[in-house]
Amino acid sequence: MRVAAEQLAKELNLSFQQISLFEQALTHRSAGSINNERLEYLGDAVLGMVIAKRLYQRFPQASEGQLSRLRSLLVRRQTLAEVGAEIQLSQYLLMGAGELRAGGQSRDSTLADAVEAILGTTYLELGNDAVEQLIDHLFLQRLQKLSLEQCEKDPKTRLQEHLQSHNLPLPEYKVISVSGKQHQQRFSVKCHISVLKMEAVGSDMSRRKAEQDAARKLLEELVK
């Protein structure tokens, strides 16, 4: 594990006096009681602060709500998992045998948690400047591609507000099927408005996205 951790640290241009805490950041809870959960907690807070700062600097005219929605795009699990995949994080993780057999090293949640843990370790061991540099390295391209147009409210929120404006009850969401292997699952979700006898089905690789897809389809039908 030490060689793997040192290799990843080198790839990320991080120079630790002691590699042990960085090794812990790469250790999944299935591998033992000394794992990356506490470091993940810290890294989540550090990431949110640095991304908030960068967005504040990049979008001087944006409102608080717009900045919050942009931040959510960058710190959400899916984005963190994409970052983890880009640095090939799965090959450096220490996990229990059962979790490895189940493909746990490739799960979005596992990759996202480990990215946050790495940020937490970097902050503790190397300080604020170093963790800001690392976050810039990992997130800069995504940050540069953001625009205020992406601040639009998500389909579930827009559907809810549309229904409330017409004094209608909120929609109900129900998972109707889950297919694929555990780390490559595809969800199908039904969005239903009973009083209108309307429904739509959405699908995606996460339940949240499937709900958004269903809400978007139903909203399109409502506003026709």
Contact 40, 29 (CB under 8 A): no
pLDDT for 3: 77
Domain count, the chain: 2
Same domain, 64 and 20: yes
Q: Please, which residues have CB within 8 angstroms of residue 130's CB and are 6 or more apart in sequence?
A: 14, 122, 123
Contact 25, 117 (CB under 8 A): yes
> What's the whole-model pTM score?
0.71
Active site residue 113: no
pLDDT for 220: 87
pLDDT for 73: 87
Q: Which domain holds residue 118?
A: 2-147
Same domain, 127 and 166: no
Active site residue 154: no
Which tokens hold the place of 110? 């596992």
Same domain, 179 and 138: no
CA dihedral over 51, 53, 58, 60, signed as positive or negative: positive
Same domain, 176 and 93: no
Same domain, 160 and 80: no
Q: Which of 103, 127, 147 is the last residue of a domain?
A: 147
pLDDT for 224: 65
Contact 72, 4 (CB under 8 A): no
Which residue out of 23, 40, 108, 116 is catalytically annotated?
A: 116
Residue 127 DSSP symbol: -
Q: What is the pLDDT of residues 21-65, one digit of tens each?
A: 999 999 999 999 999 999 999 999 999 999 999 999 999 999 998
CATH code: domain of residue 217? 3.30.160.20
pLDDT for 165: 87
Same domain, 210 and 119: no
Which residue out of 40, 44, 125, 211 is catalytically annotated?
A: 44
Contact 30, 99 (CB under 8 A): yes
Same domain, 177 and 135: no
pLDDT < 50 regions, the chain = none
State the Cα angle at 179 between 175 and 181, rounded to 5°. Answer: 130
In which region does residue 180 sit, left (phi positive, over 0), alpha (psi from -120 to 50) or beta (all else)? left
Q: Which of 94, 129, 147 is the last residue of a domain?
A: 147
Q: Which of 115, 147, 179 is the last residue of a domain?
A: 147
